[in-house]
Structure 1
Amino acid sequence: MRLLNARSGSLLALCLVGLAVSTTQSLAQPPTEPEHGLDAETFGTLWSGDADSETNASDAAALAHIVALTDVPFDSPPSAVEQWNRGDHAEYPRTNSETVIVPHGVGQVDRRNIKDAFVSIFAVQPSTRALRSDDDHPLYVGARGQVLAVVDYRVREMGYDIVRGHDVPWRLCEDRVVAVRLLVDGEEVDRAYRTSRPTLSFAGLAGETGTEHTLTVEALLRTTLSDDIRHPHCRHAPVSAWPDGGFASGATADDDLTTEWLVVRDSVVVTTYDPAVPVSRAVRSDGEESIAITTTRPWLTASLGETTVQSRWRLYTARDPRWDRLDVLGDSSHASLASPAQPLQIYAFPSRSTPRLPTAREVGTTLVEPPTLPEHLDLPVATEPYPRHPTVVAHVSTPSDADVFVTGLVRGSNATIDPTEVEEVAVHDTALTLAVDDANAASVTLTATLRDATTGEPIRTDDVGTLSVAGQDVETNASGVATVTIPRPPGAVTARFDPAPWWTADTAFAASSDTVYVRGTKLSLMATLFELALPAGAFLFAAFVVDRATGLRVWPPWRGL
């Protein structure tokens, strides 16, 4: 229960106005000193996007000094964000019944006595907003989390009574936040009582990964005023803990008692996130192994024993600009001040770097334009279209019985994939042979035969890969044979089989190639012999000269055979 004290309320309002006058109207700046138990090094990494200030960092330790001047990307979600938000949430300015402090731009609701009422979500945590593109930036949350909110309002004391036709000395008997509750898609999941700084919890969001949910915070406010002459001692009107049917507002009144209640709401849309990505493993005849990770949602790292694959996604933290400025409202006053409570948010962005492993690559056919980061952010965001649903492929040397550990974008949302859940794909070696069927001065006809090197079965290329002869694509038939006629080349002809990606094919194959020299005319035969004899003759002549000039007895080269 908040008690009315006209003197203390006026004093608070004056203090806040003075503070507002002393601040500039420019964008709020981050705190310059660590708070809430954070050390200087960690604290300095959290404020990406703020104007870098060497003055603010001049007294910090060496590393803290550097990070204070730089926007720092993270490879994993920092827990410091939640620690900071809990501390700043508790320090949001408190008021009394005559004054309300509201984030600039947040809408307020008025009733007869309750004025400038609002509830605003301060933070959802743990969470990460993924900046996939300029128009796609879901707020990812894990299986469980918390919603931090702020509630405030003020009370307009009644004076003139329209029914009685004269002023009535009303006494404020009751003025409180009765309850605050959290709803997920309209269903209540948690509730707190008599607090203007609620922390509400959720768990087990329904639906598959990628499902959107609406988190709504509702606050029930109530005031009771009594005729100070007829009832110098306050009495309270009973009101249920929550209005039936969820009505937005209401009031009851008699000749000497007026009770008013109001429900205010704020909502945010979140997307469920789980980094349990599908993993495939390819095993080749030479013992070489690869893994492929294909998913519709971004992830950070995948580890298999001593091998760790880093995706292109990176993280940064920045304050929420909607809380930069606060409005201080009273019956006849309106001022602004730089907010002393600045919630942080973790953001994910696609970087210019492809997966960090020499043997890893990123493939994908559907590309998306990268996002535009806010002004003042100096981070290595992608500058060219990148795969929307990529497959990351990497060569590994980890035993096939090792777990796959995936680090997700949301803190605490990691996944361990058992080896039994990893699809194992055997890659078959292929045997490709190319033969000349006919040749003349203008053209040459060749036959390419493609078979499984292990089973000898013919391979039809229409759905397992691409076969090219002298750069021209051809298709083998059910017998694994393709015949093609091409203009006669000056020398050799090469055929190459490029298989479909092993992680998409029903049967995976390895690449193979073959080369033949085109014969068929005496002139071409002489030309080929000349091409071979010229370098051989040069070598023999050089050996003869060295033998005669130095006496090293290297002539003839076949001496001693």
Structure 2
Amino acid sequence: MRRSTLGLALALTVLVGGLVSVASADHPPRPGSDDSGLSENETATLWSKAPNECLTDAEYEERYGEERTSMHALGNCTDITFKEPPETAEHWTAYDFESLEAGDSETSVYPDNAELNDSVFIKDAHATIFAVQPSTMVHLDDEETSLYLAPDGELRGFVDYRVAVPDDESESNQSVEWSVVDHEVSEVRVKQDGDVIAEQDGQHTPLFDYELAGAGSSTLTFEAEIEVELEKEITEQVGNETRTRYEYPTDSVTVSQTLDVDVYNLTAYIYHAEYPDGDSGVAIHQTQPWHGYVLTEDGDATVRGVWRYYTARDTDWDYLVHSNRTDEEVVHSDALPVYTRAFPSEVGPRAEPIRDGPEIREVWGFESESPAPTVHENVEIGIVDEPYVRSYGLAVRYDEIDRDHLEVQGIVRGESADIIEPDGGTEREIRESNLTVETVEENETEATLRIELRDAETGTPIALENPFEDHPRVAPIGHEQRSGYITIGDQRVETNASGVAIVTIRTPGSYTAEYHPGSWRTHDPAYVGDRASVGWHPLSTISGWLTLIVDVVRFSIPFVVALYAGLKLGSFLRIPEDQHR
């Protein structure tokens, strides 16, 4: 197995500049220069990896001899992103695949990244995946990108090779001549984790419809069988007699490429609740990255996740190598597959409409490093440049959520989640809580506050402390563990089994106690928060007033003495009026 190098490819490109097609690594097809069926504005969004030259309209027209649209001008200057997975990448890839052509029996055509195989008579053989779609390449963190595939999709492949015919030979009484009888790609197939899921008769540019099983990490293999038959004509001179015989040697080789993918079979686990004021609550947990929620039948109320999208070509197909027996020629590829890519946006999760729309109450996820290092150097997008929360679930509150039309949309175009209701039901009861705070003891230096938390309807104490938190294995069967806490000032406290917490404050002022309940998804019943306020100042106590009076008298003595002395000194220095006369 061998592989050509891009350095050689670039060097040889200089020699074949006259053969370069319209498409190139730095200058992909100009919008409007093809018959893809996409509009000029749509085509302008495809080439995020191209340099952002920011040409003026005059400079562009002088270089290419044509005008451009405003969207095209924007695409020349920056990279265009999408709120949801676009279909333009699949449309373009299907169109451009038609321009991919194999070589003849003496020439093999392959992209620089192809895994090449040689056998006795077959050389530079490969089976390379052109594109798999619908799919989305996701920038997850600073080291990882994953290709998520729809369970039902299409794989486009490219197979080629050349036949190495031995040289003819001639000796005094014998000559050997070689020729090709037949050669073909006899069979092509697609495997998932080693199992064949699609196969067909061989061709150089096969198109497969496939169905993937399961969800999550998997391997996809594109495989091809290549067969060759040669004729070996042997002519011998025996005395005065010429004898000719024929041999028909055959050769075959299996070539393949394996791709690591994630099968995007999205499932969502859902919990419902109703708030005391009649608002609806929904908590949704997804097993894979997700795009957004649609909460109403008309689609007016939505929640968008952290992911945004752009489209870019697969740069492995920028160049094609044309290899024959004696030489290799590198040209720019006429066929450029384009993929949709997802990235965590600086905008982050948001609900729409912004005013009077859904309220995001909780986000579950885990922190990941910014995936900015995995983005191509020419791509300029609003990607987060700091660690971000890769959410796997949200809790949302809205005045009315339509359960029959609730939809969890996927990051792969056209995919939405199968919604699953967990065992034990999805309904959660949310009640009002009642938080009170009062001063139970105070002096001139501190005050003791008593905070009490109860169920507003039943009066039952709400305990937040978990005495078995450090030793959960010894907790009694049926013991309810309730998360949540109360804040007051800069303190964070939990109520005991009687629903009471005692707090000491030493700084005068007004204090507001606030109950922060745990997620309603994990509590039944659950509660909404509540607030209560109390003020404290040392002057509110008798001892405080006495202390103030004593302090005032003590600190005023030096000023009184100074005032008295000043008055006496002034009287001593005053000159009687009759002495001025």
TM-score, normalization by structure 2: 0.77
Query: Which residue of the partner structure matches residue 447 of structure 2?
Result: 444
Question: How many angstroms apart in 1 are the aligned matches of 2:515 and 2:186?
Answer: 73
Matched, 1:39 2:39: yes
Query: Which residue of the partner structure matches residue 322 of structure 2?
Result: 328
1:334-388 CA-partner distances (Å, limit 9, x unpaired): 1111111111111111000022323544634631112122111111111121112
Call closer, same or farther: CA 1:161–1:279 in 2, change over 3 Å: farther
Query: Which residue of the partner structure matches residue 542 of structure 2?
Result: 522
Matched, 1:182 2:190: yes
What does 1:484-495 align with in structure 2 at a 5 Å threshold? 484-487=503-506, 489-495=507-513
Query: Offset of 1:116 from its aligned partner?
Result: 0.7
Query: Which residue of the partner structure matches residue 221 of structure 1?
Result: 226
| Structure 2 SS opposite 1:278 | strand
Call closer, same or farther: CA 1:444–1:96 in 2, change over 3 Å: same
Query: Which residue of the partner structure matches residue 354 of structure 1?
Result: 348
Query: Which residue of the partner structure matches residue 409 of structure 1?
Result: 411
Could you tell me whether the CA contact under 8 Å between 1:177 and 1:222 is conserved in 2?
A: yes
| Structure 2 SS opposite 1:135 | coil
Query: Offset of 1:163 from its aligned partner?
Result: 12
Could you tell me whether the CA contact under 8 Å between 2:25 and 2:50 is conserved in 1?
A: no
| Structure 1 SS opposite 2:290 | coil
Deviates more, 1:60-69 or 1:149-158: 60-69
Question: How many angstroms apart in 2 are the aligned matches of 1:50 and 1:473?
Answer: 53
- Identical-residue share of aligned pairs (%): 31
Question: How many angstroms apart in 2 are the aligned matches of 1:178 and 1:365?
Answer: 49
Query: Which residue of the partner structure matches residue 292 of structure 2?
Result: 301
Amino acid at match of 1:34: D
The CA RMSD over aligned residues, in Å, is: 3.2
Could you tell me whether the CA contact under 8 Å between 2:155 and 2:207 is conserved in 1?
A: yes
Query: Offset of 1:256 from its aligned partner?
Result: 1.3
Question: How many angstroms apart in 2 are the aligned matches of 1:486 and 1:17?
Answer: 79
Query: Which residue of the partner structure matches residue 501 of structure 2?
Result: 482
Could you tell me whether the CA contact under 8 Å between 1:224 and 1:260 is conserved in 2?
A: yes
Query: Which residue of the partner structure matches residue 427 of structure 1?
Result: 430
Structure 2: 5+ residue stretches without partners: 1-12, 236-244, 466-481, 549-581
Query: Which residue of the partner structure matches residue 456 of structure 1?
Result: 459
Could you tell me whether the CA contact under 8 Å between 2:275 and 2:430 is conserved in 1?
A: yes
Q: 1:278 aligns with which of 269, 278, 283?
A: 269
Question: How many angstroms apart in 2 are the aligned matches of 1:379 and 1:369?
Answer: 17
Query: Offset of 1:302 from its aligned partner?
Result: 1.1
| Structure 1 SS opposite 2:130 | strand
Call closer, same or farther: CA 1:290–1:167 in 2, change over 3 Å: farther
Query: Offset of 1:326 from its aligned partner?
Result: 1.1
Call closer, same or farther: CA 1:461–1:166 in 2, change over 3 Å: farther
Deviates more, 1:448-457 or 1:70-79: 70-79
Query: Offset of 1:287 from its aligned partner?
Result: 2.0
Query: Offset of 1:425 from its aligned partner?
Result: 2.8
Query: Which residue of the partner structure matches residue 366 of structure 1?
Result: 366
Deviates more, 1:354-363 or 1:308-317: 354-363
Query: Which residue of the partner structure matches residue 27 of structure 2?
Result: 29
1:418-440 CA-partner distances (Å, limit 9, x unpaired): 99999333322111122222222
| Structure 2 SS opposite 1:138 | strand
Query: Which residue of the partner structure matches residue 241 of structure 1?
Result: none
Could you tell me whether the CA contact under 8 Å between 1:138 and 1:270 is conserved in 2?
A: yes
| Structure 2 SS opposite 1:86 | helix
Query: Offset of 1:119 from its aligned partner?
Result: 0.9
Q: 1:341 aligns with which of 335, 342, 348?
A: 335
Question: How many angstroms apart in 2 are the aligned matches of 1:164 and 1:406?
Answer: 80
Question: How many angstroms apart in 1 are the aligned matches of 2:509 and 2:36?
Answer: 75
Amino acid at match of 1:267: T
Call closer, same or farther: CA 1:367–1:401 in 2, change over 3 Å: closer
Query: Which residue of the partner structure matches residue 180 of structure 2?
Result: 172
Amino acid at match of 1:521: T
Query: Offset of 1:172 from its aligned partner?
Result: 0.6
Amino acid at match of 2:521: W
Deviates more, 1:17-26 or 1:400-409: 17-26
1:282-306 CA-partner distances (Å, limit 9, x unpaired): 4221223343333342222211112
Could you tell me whether the CA contact under 8 Å between 1:71 and 1:379 is conserved in 2?
A: yes
Could you tell me whether the CA contact under 8 Å between 1:28 and 1:338 is conserved in 2?
A: no
Matched, 1:472 2:491: yes
Question: How many angstroms apart in 2 are the aligned matches of 1:507 and 1:162?
Answer: 95
Structure 1: 5+ residue stretches without partners: 1-15, 231-253, 529-561
Query: Offset of 1:71 from its aligned partner?
Result: 1.3
